[in-house]
Chain A
């Protein structure tokens, strides 16, 4: 309840602090930090640039930013569902690739009409990701193979097998990537002319927002979500309560995989139209940071993915406008990520300050200590519970 509020406040503070750290760095380098941050916004289409090339505008930049943002939302949601069940899905990139590849070769290269092709792309993407995810869950349940190991291995398997087929069957001789898919199958409408500008309209973004809402409802309001969270919080107790732990893990990984599949199709058949062989996109790995920054909460993820993607997309423009070396830009984005990721630490800091008021050193002690400073104990053990005091 209130824990969410405290967490949000700290996340915001962490982001502000990181921007401050970036500011200091840029001042040392003799750059104008405000301008640099403004460039960041310009680069990602959130602020108008001084001038645009033909058929571009701030709004077209923004639409392409949203297109870029979409796969990250799906991927971070995929991570969150697994995380809530106590599983670590590090195979999101591989699941994205499998989904993207299968949708590309089945629908992408078919001549189906847009009304048929787009839903099919989405369905095939979900199904493919779900199958890979469920497989990882099954391996864990049946053979007790750690999901981190199996998903990393599956990442490699997917990467190399798919590269083999792309390079032997589907390669575009010029780009050395898979051949571009047909426009009918693409989830982003390209070059839609509105008022003289050409927009790319990411249809999957609507789906991503809906997915956020659905995952939130699933986790908070359904029997399934209750079971998944129970398994994530305490597997033994979940089993004692009659929850089938193995089944919950498979279901969780299947849902996670399906979301990763959506990330895959919105990336390979939306933002891009082709697949680069022998490369796993970083989105799947970055999504873990995004998920943690958003405290594994779908609404939090909407914000954290936005922040991360603004930085990712705007930093090139910032570096070119400010004459900053791209390495420095990486340092600044790294700082932002670092501070944001440390929000859990800041949380602990806030909590222990609160404790200091009670002269409390070790709260995990004895039965009575548990009764007495109930609220404080909770806060230490789980930096979540916040009670009255912090308002002061």
Chain B
């Protein structure tokens, strides 16, 4: 599409890159040219080939066709360490940190400054490391405490550590892979600030994302990828979000979910004075009361780690309630087992789809039967009925568009995150339970998949199901909810119909700035 010549203007040029995997073309004749000192965004759905393209720049794969030029010089990047020697660094979506090491130890790991003890015994010069790290963090506004241990610090600090790791190694070209997927809105703002500061400090930033908003805020230019092909490269100032979204997914997207007015039925879930303690006897949920009605989407909004997942786990039976009662259709389920609750009518899409929701080393077929295997006709007198499993799996795969290499026989581990989530959602919705708990149902998914899941959640509500939605994405909460409870530090700040909130109000309650008395909950009653 462009000429094969290179000029000195570009720090990174990937020309005519094609990468094939068995059965799939991840990148097809993609050419991108990145200028020194710009923030270059790669926009595309999950599976569009963004990460694969960057993996080739970072030396994790080699392209089948095409050439890579770094600073005008043709390079064959054979390994991440070679990429590092070219001053290319990458912040991965899943952090690669040693959790019981300090921040400084993590940053210097593999590139430790040494000094000689007694003139000949080489030891790590931690004082020097701390000094250098402190200097770099000041320079780019990345405040961290170098002596803090990783397992004690929050996600956004861990991400800063990853960034510092690259800077410590003198990275000039910084690749960020979906950096905001795990952050709260405030943290996202501060990260975007850091990214800008890095650019102003002369670094070149490549930002992999599928969030238009972030691109609008920080990026200079944006390449749009769809199904492995480069669709367009745009200058970000003056770009139209709707058009970008359309380019990304290939058809017009509705950015807000369409939903009819809610018709509340009888109360389905009644939680009163629920208290949950963690292993250290710390109250993660403090005296929370609320009611979810049939035909209602009840959301719990809040910054991650304020007790919302504990509420979901307590309702589903994965955590024991310290005190308080949980009722389903008036029946006290507080002390029931998980299985009894499932049978009583609770389905649950957990936050951690890989560790909780699925057994990765089981086939898709077996995973789709995970909640039903003990029921007839899935089993008869203790013997599994394979044809029924197969039938169930075929039905869900087609019904929920779960894509995998070998349909039901695919190991779930080999499936993409989005398809894993579709499998869980399909399985749980087909439970036909009266209460459906969704925790972070769209985390890390692309717009198409998010839209789809939102439609399904609304459809469940319209079928007269009670929906308990727990999400960190404010857009999701405001779009879908009929009632919103905002949780801060284990207690509800406010429970009110969704239309009574403005986004800034939500933010205030989430940060614990504003507070109502929602103790005896049921602003929605």
Binding site for B on A (CB under 8 A): 1, 221-226, 229-230, 233-234, 236-244, 358-362, 365-378, 381-382, 384-385, 387-389
Given contacts A223-B383, A230-B362, A361-B59, contact A237 B413 (CB under 8 A): no
Tell me whether B325 is interfacial, beta carbon within 8 Å: no
**CB within 8 Å of A: which B104-157 residues:** none
Q: Closest 10 interchain pairs by CB?
A: A242-B339, A378-B414, A366-B51, A371-B416, A373-B21, A368-B51, A359-B62, A372-B26, A374-B414, A371-B47
A-B contact pairs, 18 of them (CB 8 A): A233-B362, A234-B359, A236-B355, A243-B339, A244-B337, A358-B61, A359-B63, A361-B59, A361-B61, A365-B92, A368-B47, A368-B51, A374-B21, A374-B414, A377-B413, A378-B413, A382-B411, A382-B413
Determine the chain B residues whose CB is within 8 A of the CB of A242 once the complex forms.
337-339, 342, 371, 374
Tell me whether B356 is interfacial, beta carbon within 8 Å: yes
Determine the chain B residues whose CB is within 8 A of the CB of A388 once the complex forms.
22
Given contacts A230-B370, A367-B444, contact A237 B51 (CB under 8 A): no
Interface size of B in residues (CB-CB distance below 8 Å)? 66
In Å, the complex CA distance between A226 and B410 comes to 17
Tell me whether B488 is interfacial, beta carbon within 8 Å: no
Interchain CB contact under 8 A, A375 and B338: no
CB nearest to A226 among chain B residues: B373
Determine the chain A residues whose CB is within 8 A of the CB of B178 once the complex forms.
366-367
In this complex, which of B46, B60, B374, B415 has the most chain A Cβ atoms within 10 angstroms of its Cβ? B60
Q: When each residue 353-366 of chain B gets 1 if its CB lies under 8 Å from chain A and 0 otherwise, what string results?
A: 00111111110001
In Å, the complex CA distance between A362 and B52 comes to 11
In Å, the complex CA distance between A377 and B93 comes to 17
In Å, the complex CA distance between A368 and B446 comes to 11
In Å, the complex CA distance between A365 and B175 comes to 13
Interchain CB contact under 8 A, A358 and B356: no
In this complex, which of A359, A384, A388 has the most chain B Cβ atoms within 10 angstroms of its Cβ? A359
Question: Distance in Å from the Cβ of A172 to the closest Cβ of chain B?
Answer: 46
In Å, the complex CA distance between A366 and B410 comes to 19
Given contacts A368-B26, A385-B411, A389-B22, contact A240 B338 (CB under 8 A): yes
Question: Distance in Å from the Cβ of A357 to the closest Cβ of chain B?
Answer: 9
For the complex with contacts A240-B357, A365-B92, 14 further pairs of A-B residues with Cβ separation under 8 Å are A221-B384, A226-B384, A234-B361, A242-B339, A243-B339, A362-B55, A368-B47, A369-B52, A370-B417, A374-B21, A374-B23, A375-B414, A377-B414, A384-B361
Tell me whether B267 is interfacial, beta carbon within 8 Å: no
Tell me whether B48 is interfacial, beta carbon within 8 Å: yes
Determine the chain A residues whose CB is within 8 A of the CB of B456 once the complex forms.
none
Tell me whether B177 is interfacial, beta carbon within 8 Å: yes
Tell me whether B513 is interfacial, beta carbon within 8 Å: no
CB nearest to A360 among chain B residues: B61
Which of A222, A241, A361, A387 is in CB contact (< 8 Å) with B405?
A387
Given contacts A230-B359, A361-B60, A376-B21, contact A1 B409 (CB under 8 A): yes
Interface of A is mostly: helix
Determine the chain A residues whose CB is within 8 A of the CB of B93 once the complex forms.
366-367
In Å, the complex CA distance between A243 and B20 comes to 41
Determine the chain B residues whose CB is within 8 A of the CB of A224 once the complex forms.
382
Determine the chain B residues whose CB is within 8 A of the CB of A359 once the complex forms.
61-64
Determine the chain A residues whose CB is within 8 A of the CB of B20 once the complex forms.
358
In Å, the complex CA distance between A221 and B378 comes to 11
Determine the chain B residues whose CB is within 8 A of the CB of A360 once the complex forms.
60-61
Which of B60, B338, B357, B415 is in CB contact (< 8 Å) with A374?
B415
In Å, the complex CA distance between A319 and B383 comes to 49
Determine the chain A residues whose CB is within 8 A of the CB of B52 once the complex forms.
368-369, 372
Question: Distance in Å from the Cβ of A363 to the closest Cβ of chain B?
Answer: 8
Determine the chain B residues whose CB is within 8 A of the CB of A367 once the complex forms.
46-47, 51, 93, 178, 416-418, 444
Interchain CB contact under 8 A, B359 and A381: no
In Å, the complex CA distance between A245 and B63 comes to 46
Determine the chain A residues whose CB is within 8 A of the CB of B410 once the complex forms.
374
Determine the chain B residues whose CB is within 8 A of the CB of A226 once the complex forms.
366, 373, 384
Question: Distance in Å from the Cβ of A383 to the closest Cβ of chain B?
Answer: 11
Determine the chain B residues whose CB is within 8 A of the CB of A362 once the complex forms.
55, 60, 80
Tell me whether B16 is interfacial, beta carbon within 8 Å: no
Interchain CB contact under 8 A, B359 and A378: no
Tell me whether B350 is interfacial, beta carbon within 8 Å: yes
Determine the chain A residues whose CB is within 8 A of the CB of B339 once the complex forms.
242-244
Question: Distance in Å from the Cβ of B246 to the closest Cβ of chain A?
Answer: 21
Tell me whether B259 is interfacial, beta carbon within 8 Å: no
Interchain CB contact under 8 A, A382 and B55: no
Interchain CB contact under 8 A, B80 and A239: no
Which of B22, B59, B80, B348 is in CB contact (< 8 Å) with A373?
B22
Given contacts A372-B52, A376-B22, A377-B414, contact A237 B358 (CB under 8 A): yes
